[in-house]
Structure 1
Amino acid sequence: MSKIMFTGGGSAGHVTVNLALIPHFIQEGWSVDYIGSEAGIEKQLIEPLQNVRYHGIATGKLRRYLDWQNVKDPFKVIKGAFQAYRIIKKQKPDVLFSKGGFVSVPVVIGARLNKVPVLIHESDLTPGLANKIAIPFAAGVCTTFPETKQHLPAGKSHYVGAVIRDQLKAGDAARGRKFAGFVSTKPVLLIMGGSLGARKINQAVRASLGKLTEKFQIIHLCGKGQVDQSLQSPQYKQFEYVNEELPDLLAMSDVIISRAGSNSIFEFLYLRKPMLLIPLTKEASRGDQILNARSFQSAGFCDVLYEENMTPETLVSSVTDLYANRDKYIDNMQKNDRKDALSQLIDLIKNTAK
C-alpha cells in the first residue's frame, strides 16, 4: 500500500489544500497520516476525518520581530523535529506533502533525515518564512501564482494554480439562507478575517452596523473569542468560524469583505464573488497579503481598502461601491480560466513519491 503524510498548520489557510487532497488519496487506497501541532486549528480540522491518523508534535512560532518567546521556541522546533523524525521512521511514508506554516519546518526536517521526498505548496506570491527554511530540503515547490517562480531555486518550481476544495463547488444558496435565517430579497454580505479573525475589521464593521444592515444581510465570521453577544439582529449573524456550512454561506453571498490570504481569495475568484480585500499591513505581516491584493486588483477581480485608510465610513463607502459595480467584477472573473490544479497537484505528488 502506498503511504502519504501531510503537514501544515497554524491557520486554516495552511490546511485547506490538504483537506482538498486527502479524500482523493483515501479513495485511491493510500494510507494517510498527518503531522500537526498538539493544539492548533489543524488538529480541529483533521482529527475528525476518517482514515487519517493525526500525530501532534511540539512547535514554535518563527517570528520576524523581537519577543522573549524567541528564546524558547527554537528548542520547541528541535523537539518537534525529533518527534517528527520518530513518527516518520515508524510510518515510513512514500512522500511528505507540506502546506507550510510553523509546524511544517520540523516535519520537513524529519522527512529529510528519513530520506522521504518532500513536496511543498506555496499559496502566496512570495514564499513565507517557514517555506523559505524548508525549500532547500524539498524536491519541488508547487505555486499558486506564476510570478512565484522568480523567488524559487531554478528547477524546483511547479506552477499549478489555485486548489479548490470539491465541497466548495457544491454550495447551495437556499441551504445557506435557511441556516442563517435570511430572506432571498435582500443582498448578503459575507465578512471574514481568516480563521484567526481580524480585530480591526470586526471593530469597523460593528461601528458601521446600522448603515450596513440598511443595505445588506450580514454573515460575520469574526474569529475565536470575538463574537459580540450584545449585538443581536435578524440582519446580522456572527460565528467564530464555520466549516461544513461555509460552501452554502459562500453560495448565498453577493459580495465579500476579506483579508487577502491566497487560499480564500482564489476560492472567491473560482466562485465569482466580488470582493473587497483588506490586506494585513506590513507591520503585522511580511506584506504577502498586500502583494496578493494588488495582483487581484490589477486583474480587475477585487477592490482594495488598506487598513491604514479603513474607518467605519470608508468601509461602508467601499462595500457599497463594490456592490454597485458587482457585474463588472463578475465579468472579469468569468474571463479567468478555471485551471484544474487539483489533478495536476495529485500527479506531482505521485511522481515525487518513492
Structure 2
Amino acid sequence: MRLMVSGGGTGGHIYPALALIERLKQLDPTTEVLYVGTHRGLENKIVPAANISFKTIRIQGFKRSLSLDNFKTIYLFLKSVHDAKKMVRDFKPDVVLGTGGYVSGAVLYAAARLHVPTVIHEQNSVVGVTNKFLSRFVNEIAISFEAARDQFPIDKVTMTGNPRAQQVASTVSDFSWNELGLDEQKPTMLIFGGSQGAPKINASVVAAIPEFNKRDYQIVFATGQKRFEQVNQQLQQVAVEKNIVIRPYISNMPEMLPKVAVIVGRAGATSIAEITALGIPSILIPSPYVTANHQVKNAQALVDQQAAEMITEDQLNGKSLVAAADTLMQNEKLRTKMASAAKQMGMVDSADRLIELLKKAQEDNL
C-alpha cells in the first residue's frame, strides 16, 4: 500500500498516525508512506525521527475573531491545496489518511478533489473543525468515541478506536519499580500532566505531598520538563519521603504504564486510548484550555462507565487530590472494578480496524 498521511499541531494528531504506520509496516513491510505536515508543528521533529518520509506545506488556522489575518489564512489554504495536489500527483497514494490539524484539511481536500480515496480519523468525543469540514468530501470516517458519531454524516462513520491503544497494548515490558528506588510490591500512582507539565496539577501535588508522605502507597510525579526546577524550588522547605519519586519526564512511559495502579492526568485522546487499552483506573483532570471543552467530554465517557474519576480543574487542589487518590489507592477491590470497566472500553485492535477501513476506501474506489 502507498499511504499518504497528514495530521499535525499536537501529539494527539501525530501519535495515532505513527502507531497506524508502525502496524501497517508490520503487516506489509513493502508499505510506502509519505507524511505531510507543517514546518512549525510538532510533526516536524517527531515524524522524521521515526524514519518516515516527511514533507511540509505552509498553512495556518482561522482566528476566531474578525481579523485581517484571516485573509492570509484563506490565501495560504488555497496555496496549500495547490501544493498538496502536486504532492498527491507525485506520490500517487492508494489512499490518504487525515488525523486532524489544519494541515490535514488542505491535504485531504486536495486528494478528494483528485478522486483519491480519503479517510479521516477523529480521536476525540467532540469533532474538530478540520474534520467537520472534511467530512463532506472524504470517503470514510473513523471515530474513537461513540459520542462523535452523530456529528458526522452517519453513512460514512465506522468505530475503530485509536491506533495508539493497539501500540501500547502490544508493548512488552520488564519494567520494575525498583529502577526508581520504589517497592515492587506496593501499589503505585503515576501523576503526569503532559510533557510540558500542567501548572495547576503541579501546584496541587506540591500542596498534597505532606499528606502523601504519610501514605503506604507510592507516587511517581512527572512535573514536565519546563517546570521541574520550579517544583523543586517550591519543595525546598517540604520533606519528600521515600514513597514519592519526582522526575521531569517519563521517557519509558509505555513500559511503565502496565505497572501503574492508578494514573492521574489529563483527558486527551491519546491518554484515554492508553488508559482503556491497558485497563488502568484513573483520576482525570481535563484541561480547560482546549477547543469545545472536549477533554471534559472525553473524561465523562469513562466516568459514565465507572472506569474513572474526574476532578475539574476549578475543583482541583491538594485536598481534593489526596481524597481522590486515597479512595482508589486504599481500595484494591474498587481499583479492580474500575480497571475491568476501563478495559472493556478499550479497543486493542484499533490499528487493525483502521487499516481495514483504509483498504475498504481503496477498494470502493476501484
How does the TM-score come out when normalised to structure 2? 0.84
CA 214–64 in structure 1, closer or farther in 2 if over 3 Å, else same: farther
CA 157–87 in structure 1, closer or farther in 2 if over 3 Å, else same: same
Q: Give the distance between the partners of 1:315 and 1:68, measured in 2 at CA.
A: 44
More off after superposition, 342-351 vs 295-304: 342-351
Shift of 1:200: 2.0
Shift of 1:241: 6.1
- 2:308·2:342 contact (CA, 8 Å) conserved in 1? no
**Gaps (5+ residues) in structure 1?**
none
More off after superposition, 97-106 vs 188-197: 188-197
Which residue of structure 2 aligns with residue 298 of structure 1?
304
Q: Give the distance between the partners of 1:178 and 1:39, measured in 2 at CA.
A: 39
State how 1:26-175 maps to structure 2 within 5 Å. 26-27=25-26, 28=28, 29-50=30-51, 52-64=52-64, 72-163=72-163, 164-172=165-173, 174-175=174-175
More off after superposition, 146-155 vs 324-333: 324-333
Which residue of structure 2 aligns with residue 212 of structure 1?
212
Which residue of structure 2 aligns with residue 309 of structure 1?
315
CA 57–298 in structure 1, closer or farther in 2 if over 3 Å, else same: same
Residue 14 (str. 1) matches residue 13 (str. 2): yes
Q: Give the distance between the partners of 1:267 and 1:54, measured in 2 at CA.
A: 26
CA 334–261 in structure 1, closer or farther in 2 if over 3 Å, else same: closer
Which residue of structure 2 aligns with residue 349 of structure 1?
358
Kindly provide the amino acid, as one letter, of the partner of residue 266 in structure 1. A
- 1:47·1:54 contact (CA, 8 Å) conserved in 2? yes
Kindly provide the amino acid, as one letter, of the partner of residue 36 in structure 1. G
- 2:8·2:100 contact (CA, 8 Å) conserved in 1? yes
Shift of 1:309: 0.9
Kindly provide the amino acid, as one letter, of the partner of residue 277 in structure 2. Y
- 1:225·1:240 contact (CA, 8 Å) conserved in 2? no
CA 31–230 in structure 1, closer or farther in 2 if over 3 Å, else same: same
- Could you say what secondary structure the match of 1:55 adopts? strand
* Sequence identity (%): 27
- 2:166·2:277 contact (CA, 8 Å) conserved in 1? no
- 2:280·2:343 contact (CA, 8 Å) conserved in 1? no
Shift of 1:190: 1.5
Number of equivalenced pairs: 348
1:287-333 deviations in Å (ceiling 9; x for gaps): 21111211211101001111111112111211221223323312433
- Could you say what secondary structure the match of 1:226 adopts? helix
CA 78–147 in structure 1, closer or farther in 2 if over 3 Å, else same: same
Q: Give the distance between the partners of 1:55 and 1:3, measured in 2 at CA.
A: 15
Q: Give the distance between the partners of 2:343 and 2:99, measured in 1 at CA.
A: 28
Which residue of structure 2 aligns with residue 226 of structure 1?
227
RMSD: 2.7
Shift of 1:82: 3.4
CA 230–158 in structure 1, closer or farther in 2 if over 3 Å, else same: closer
Q: Give the distance between the partners of 1:56 and 1:26, measured in 2 at CA.
A: 22
- 1:260·1:290 contact (CA, 8 Å) conserved in 2? yes
Which residue of structure 2 aligns with residue 330 of structure 1?
339
Which residue of structure 2 aligns with residue 5 of structure 1?
4
Q: Give the distance between the partners of 1:195 and 1:46, measured in 2 at CA.
A: 17
Residue 272 (str. 1) matches residue 270 (str. 2): no
Q: Identify, as 1 or 2, the structure richer in helix.
A: 2
Q: Give the distance between the partners of 2:131 and 2:225, measured in 1 at CA.
A: 26
**Gaps (5+ residues) in structure 2?**
none
CA 273–90 in structure 1, closer or farther in 2 if over 3 Å, else same: same
* Rg (Cα) greater in structure: 2
Shift of 1:84: 2.4
1:125-177 deviations in Å (ceiling 9; x for gaps): 231112112222211111112332211113111122343233443242x5253
Shift of 1:209: 2.9
Shift of 1:64: 4.1
CA 10–302 in structure 1, closer or farther in 2 if over 3 Å, else same: same
Shift of 1:121: 0.6
Which residue of structure 1 aligns with residue 292 of structure 2?
286
- Could you say what secondary structure the match of 2:136 adopts? helix
- Could you say what secondary structure the match of 1:257 adopts? strand
Kindly provide the amino acid, as one letter, of the partner of residue 258 in structure 1. G
